[in-house]
Structure 1
Amino acid sequence: MKNFRPFPKYGGTKTAAITVVVGAFLLTGCTAANDSPSASSASGAEILAENGLDGLDVRELVETLDAIPLDERTETLTTSITAEAVTLTDQHEHTAEVRLPSNEIYVSVAPYRSQTHDCYYHSPTGCLGELRNADVAVTVTDATTGETIVDEEMRTLDNGFVGIWLPRGIETSISITHDGQTATSKLSSVDDDAQTCLTTMRLA
């Protein structure tokens, strides 16, 4: 029997650059395509340290944020993940931006049966899927070559999502199965503004 785990591992670098930029924004829940991060006058390292996230590489940072239990979410920290970076904003609207690996993109997928929501950029501290802590089988295939990229038995996180690291620059097909029901969808990592939050996979 396979062991269940929340995140597939697919290569990737262990370093991340923290970039401080100008402006500010506040995220509430999931984000639409035009809600891309802009942000901050505070020290990015300071925000990470204040939230116990310093010392993590970018993959560890993303996965730690996505795995935060719902009852530990706080209004003092909001987050967003685009194809380019993970952005954290504190209660003062100061923002830290950590670039994603140059060869990978992180996509969060929330399969559902009856309830979903619109989403384009994933917010680990805001998005909520229907199937929380549920066992699922996930398969991701390269649409061009037919190569299987992910073939895992996983468990959705407390926020109802599974997180998947994909190589950049490919078109894929994703299939998720839960309790004998399956959903399939296209999933792209081609563009710099590629979708990182997939909430349209209805199990049937």
Structure 2
Amino acid sequence: MARSPFRSKALIAAVATVGALALTACSSTPADSPASTSPTTNVLAAKGLDDLSGKELIERLDTLPVAERPDGLVASVRPDEVLISENDGPETSVALPDDEFYVSVAPYVNRTHDCYFHSLTTCLGELRDQPIRVTATDVADGAVLADLTSRTYDNGFVGLWLPRGIEADVVVEYEGRTGRATVGTGPDDPTCVTTIALA
């Protein structure tokens, strides 16, 4: 029986989507990885990361050069914790501050990818180690929450610690281009923003 051309196109599109997510290894939706945690895992100790707080863990792994990142380690940033596993083994969690929300931003010019929960070890953005300026202001009252001029990390992202329970207007400037997005910091909001197109 001949295969419908419409079915073939749908199948190709589905395979392409899965392939793109596998290449970037970012979590695209909240339902990707249910939070099943195991307190007995010694993954962090094996990697020399067990003495770090959740905030320190994020800052260490997100800023680490890509070539130096631990093989097989997956660290997924959720709104209130970091879920960590190695080689599909059991997960352990490290709590994040009650009053701060971490969001990792990967602005882009030509290409991007879907992402919901930022992976500290596998997500890759387009603009790696590039000079940018990022500002974030509270949508409710216009208060400046962040204003930094730096470089994107080796993974193409830059991280922001924002107050919980707000909406922020995030503006990125890069080589005369500008992009912006509204970012939420609630319990169901993404920790990975890959939708800021620079034009």
Pairing 1:11-30 to 2, within 5 Å after superposition: 29-30=25-26
Partner Cα separation in structure 2 for residue 52 and residue 202 of structure 1 = 37
In the alignment, structure 1 segments of 5+ residues that lack a partner are: 1-26
Partner Cα separation in structure 2 for residue 31 and residue 98 of structure 1 = 18
Displacement of 1:68 in angstroms is 2.3
Partner Cα separation in structure 1 for residue 34 and residue 48 of structure 2 = 22
Displacement of 1:52 in angstroms is 1.1
Displacement of 1:79 in angstroms is 1.4
1:118-175 CA-to-partner distances (Å, cap 9, x unmatched) read 0011001111000001111010000010111101102100000000000001111000
1:83 aligned onto 2:79: yes
Displacement of 1:73 in angstroms is 3.0
- Aligned residue for 2:35? 38
1:5-64 CA-to-partner distances (Å, cap 9, x unmatched) read xxxxxxxxxxxxxxxxxxxxxx961002222442244624x2111011021122111111
CA distance 1:37–1:79, shift in 2 (3 Å): farther
Pairing 1:1-204 to 2, within 5 Å after superposition: 29-33=25-29, 34-41=31-38, 43-44=40-41, 46-91=42-87, 93-189=89-185, 191-204=186-199
Partner Cα separation in structure 1 for residue 133 and residue 48 of structure 2 = 32
Structure possessing the higher relative contact order (Cα contacts under 8 Å, 6 or more residues apart): 1
CA distance 1:56–1:41, shift in 2 (3 Å): closer
Q: TM-score under structure 1 normalisation?
A: 0.81
- Aligned residue for 2:15? none
Task: Name the aligned partner's letter for residue 170 of structure 2.
Answer: I
Structure possessing the higher radius of gyration over alpha carbons: 2
Task: Name the aligned partner's letter for residue 152 of structure 1.
Answer: L
| SS of residue in 1 equivalent to 2:107 | coil
In the alignment, structure 2 segments of 5+ residues that lack a partner are: 1-20
Identity percentage of aligned residues = 44
Task: Name the aligned partner's letter for residue 120 of structure 1.
Answer: Y
Partner Cα separation in structure 2 for residue 137 and residue 51 of structure 1 = 32
* Structure 1 range deviating more: 64-73 or 163-172: 64-73
Q: Would the aligned equivalents of 2:54 and 2:94 in 1 still touch at CA under 8 Å?
A: yes
Q: Paired residues, what number?
A: 176
Partner Cα separation in structure 2 for residue 99 and residue 37 of structure 1 = 16
- Aligned residue for 2:10? none
Q: TM-score under structure 2 normalisation?
A: 0.83
